[in-house]
Amino acid sequence: MLQKAGVSFGLEIEITKHIMPGSGIGSSSASAAGAVVALNSLLDDRFSKLELVDFAMEGEKLASGSRHADNVAPCIYGGFTLVRSADPLDVVTLDFPPLWAAVIHPQIEVKTAEARAILPKEVSLKTATRQWGNVGSLVAGLAKGAYALIGRSLEDLIVEPVRKPLIPQFDEVKAACLSAGALGGGISGSGPSIFMLSKDPETAEKVQTAMRDVYSRTDIEFNTYLSEISGEGVRVVAGQE
């Protein structure tokens, strides 16, 4: 990024965060996105958001072995994004209704590179067609604010079946959250975190409680998070650490 900017100075970055590596909630993308946005501020915002995503993908490559934008793009743009292509990079921002995410992070590590290695090399046309339908209907559901359609579309037929054995109590958590009113959800990133979406904060709190209840019956330590989906991406806040 400094080379492309054509500047002669360097910089030292100190990162303080509370997201464990291998959590599935964007530890590496938080660092990469935060670094490029901060540096862009020092460079008088000369780079576009799309260019910042491209730079941040280099950080993801260092962390996981591949240049991917599925985390850094929404971090930088905010809200929901569709990465139509990684090469050449093409990011589409999506409209969406108010949504709240509840996340449970079991204190175990699932490394992104290892989680990628177990993915199937081939997918049947029948499965792929159904999954493409889910992607299309999810985009439509977000654009229309159709909560029921969003819920029906949160179905992962390719990744979830092979990765969920890495996550203790995954099926139990998902069932409990749906019973508590969640629209749907699944594995967050490469795991072990699990996310569930709700249409209002009251339901999201019930979903968070359901998650906690399941893991409270195990010996596994965990953290939970609850947040509205923000339409604003990474930003520099003056005077704050």
At 36 the pLDDT is 96
Task: Give the pLDDT mean for 181-208.
Answer: 96
pTM of the model: 0.91
For residues 223-230, average pLDDT: 96
Per residue in 20-32, pLDDT (tens digit) is: 777 888 888 999 9
Q: What is the pLDDT of residue 72?
A: 95
- DSSP per-residue string spanning the chain: -HHHHT--------------TTSSS-HHHHHHHHHHHHHHHHTTS-S-HHHHHHHHHHHHHHHHSS---TTHHHHHH-SEEEEEEETTEEEEEE-----EEEEEEES----HHHHHHTS-S---HHHHHHHHHHHHHHHHHHHHT-HHHHHHH---SSSHHHHGGGSTTHHHHHHHHHHTT--EEEE-TTSS-EEEEESSHHHHHHHHHHHHHHHHTSS--EEEEEEEPPS------TT--
Specify whether 16 is catalytic.
Answer: no
Per-residue pLDDT band for 110 (boundaries 50, 70, 90) equals confident
> What average pLDDT does the chain have?
93
> What's the pLDDT tens digit per position in 52-75?
999 999 998 888 788 899 899 999
Instruction: Specify whether 60 is catalytic.
Output: yes
The pLDDT of residue 151 is above 60 = yes
Arithmetic mean of pLDDT, 190-207: 96
pLDDT in tens, 71-102: 999 999 999 999 999 999 999 999 999 999 99
Instruction: Assess whether pLDDT exceeds 70 at residue 116.
Output: yes
Residue 237: pLDDT band (50, 70, 90) is confident
Check whether 240 has a pLDDT greater than 60.
no
Residue among 12, 58, 60, 172 flagged as catalytic: 60
pLDDT confidence of residue 239: 66
Please tell me which residue in 112, 122, 160, 228 is annotated as part of the active site: 112
